[in-house]
Amino acid sequence: MTALIGTAVASAERRAGPAETAIAVLAALRRLRALIDEQAGFAAAALWDDSLREILLAQSLQRRARGDEAAGALPVPSHSEGERRARAILEDAVQSTLMLNAVGPGNLAVQAATGILLGHLLRLLDGVPAAETLLAELRREPEMRAVADPAGRPQFGLH
């Protein structure tokens, strides 16, 4: 799982900037949370939220122990070409994770992907966002937005 997600994030970073890649990682985490909520229900989604809170708390405490108290601000989507490419790459990684999860024991693939994606997000943000701010963003419904393809024709996509 580490190789799958790590390769996808590295590929996204080659095609987009850190902020655009962070937005794509947020979208991947949002997709995982939505699927957990849909497939396993509210209780499973609440457990997933709690595991994210624990990881963020641990990371925040480690950073404070090192004297680094910078909070990671969540980036604002730019809807750029690089961001769209990064989102597509990470969406593929999430789909692969879900296929692996279907044949593996329990939900180990989803749990591993969550931790790995969160680790990349914190690295890209160079800080730890407030847990409730991040969770509010992950619970947000993706918006439908018209975007133009390279020829200038409108297309619709989830953002």
- Sequence letter at residue 144: M
* pLDDT reported for residue 106: 83
Closest CA to 109 of 38, 57, 159, 36: 36
Q: What is the pLDDT of residue 2?
A: 87
- For the segment 119-153, what is each residue's pLDDT rounded down to a tens digit? 999 999 988 999 999 999 999 876 555 555 666 65
pTM of the complete model: 0.85
pLDDT of res. 142 = 66
**Residue 87 · residue 25 · CB < 8 Å:** no
Average pLDDT of the chain, as a whole number = 87
Does residue 44 carry a pLDDT above 70?
yes
Asked if 21 and 116 touch (Cβ cutoff 8 Å), the reply is: no
Phi/psi at 3 (nearest 5 deg)? -65, -45
In the DSSP assignment, the letter for residue 32 is H
Q: pLDDT of 53-75, one tens digit each?
A: 999 999 999 988 988 776 777 88
- pLDDT (0 to 100) of residue 86: 96
| Statement: residue 157 has pLDDT above 50 | no
pLDDT at position 30: 95
**Higher pLDDT among residues 71 and 157, named by residue:** 71
- Encoding tokens for residue 60? 């925040």
